[in-house]
Structure 1
């Protein structure tokens, strides 16, 4: 018990010493990336576009429209954060299913992005994040297609053009997809695998 008390004392002292040091380091990092809480910008954007699955999933589905709405924040000139919702209708093009069926994709994503501001209005960027989607197959596609949750790891690149508080942009997003149990490959019992690629245009505002 005495040894345990000594160890606990050492830990407490170490935390007391390290705490201020970490705080100083965090402040220095914030200064280096240009963080100033008085100048943090936030806003909303809406996006429309097209996209679809790749791989085995792409063989049995088509290209579908998407719509999204996203909350954005720019805590530093080079760093941005997005949290948003994206809905997409992906048509099913599978001989095992009658025509007119589709998959509704409902997605939530958080994404960090980096990129410089050029000539005060052009903002190229790249980003990476984490998302979760619920795939809801239309009733006419059952029992070939199921409803499914899938994790997504989006990687995006694009460019925004800003005019005052308004902006417009284009981007492409490639999403690595995990946990697919949506449908099997025709003639087998293997789950169809694939990724997801979407392209869209965005418009929004900052305040």
Structure 2
């Protein structure tokens, strides 16, 4: 009985001591997550990175460089939006095609982003959107590769750091793609299937 009372007393005392500490922590977290007009600024980012196809599409192609330019805004506390263009050169690594050929990917994407702005500086986020790409195969590959329109559903995750009116970030984007008629799997009449995975660094401004 005495041991039970002692434990209960320790729990009560610990709660009394920890309560104010939790309250302070909660206040600090609330302050860091407070949303201001500064956080709602729109901006423009440019980015560079690398990536390529997965699955059957990736078996015959390599990793290619990309460039993008994106307009973005954070109109709500946890929700942002962006619209952008991405260009990418994906090398063809296919025994049926002479070396030096590429697929040029031109993409437009609209993306919704979910994540808080922490301490008016850090912005971790996840995103989902819709995109459309035009794939243009270089002339030396067009006996095997086709020019193709490709629908995309990007799933993104990343983090941005804001320094006044400047920002820098890193992100990874996995794109589910549809309508693939770029080329046939070697030795079959089946269209090659797959997805697209890209990673990139961004820099930009907030206005």
Superposition RMSD in Å: 1.7
TM-fit CA distance, 1:119: 3.0
**For 1:66 and 1:152, how far apart are their aligned partners in 2?**
16
- If you compute each CA radius of gyration, which structure gives the higher value, 1 or 2? 2
Matched, 1:124 2:124: yes
Cα contact 2:68–2:86 (8 A) shared by 1 = yes
Can you list the C-alpha shifts for 1:93-151, whole angstroms capped at 9, x where unaligned? Answer: 00000000000000000000010122331110000000000000000001100000000
TM-fit CA distance, 1:37: 8.9
**For 2:36 and 2:163, how far apart are their aligned partners in 1?**
22
1:81 aligned partner: 81
Cα contact 1:122–1:161 (8 A) shared by 2 = yes
1:160 aligned partner: 160
1:10 aligned partner: none
After TM superposition, the structure 1 = structure 2 runs for residues 90-105 of structure 1, keeping only pairs within 5 Å, are 90-105=90-105
Can you list the C-alpha shifts for 1:16-73, whole angstroms capped at 9, x where unaligned? Answer: xxxxxxxxxxxxxxxxxx9999984211000100000000000000000000001111
**For 1:123 and 1:157, how far apart are their aligned partners in 2?**
11
Can you list the C-alpha shifts for 1:80-102, whole angstroms capped at 9, x where unaligned? Answer: 10000000000000000000000
**For 1:155 and 1:140, how far apart are their aligned partners in 2?**
33
**For 1:166 and 1:148, how far apart are their aligned partners in 2?**
37
Cα contact 1:182–1:192 (8 A) shared by 2 = yes
Look up the SS of the partner of 2:56 in the other structure. Answer: helix
Gap regions ≥5 residues in structure 1: 1-33
Aligned pairs, how many? Answer: 174
Say if 1:117 and 1:38 are closer, same or farther in 2 by CA, change over 3 A.
Answer: closer
Cα contact 2:42–2:74 (8 A) shared by 1 = yes
Cα contact 1:37–1:75 (8 A) shared by 2 = no
> Runs of at least 4 residues of structure 1 off by over 3 A?
34-40
**For 2:71 and 2:100, how far apart are their aligned partners in 1?**
33
Say if 1:39 and 1:168 are closer, same or farther in 2 by CA, change over 3 A.
Answer: closer
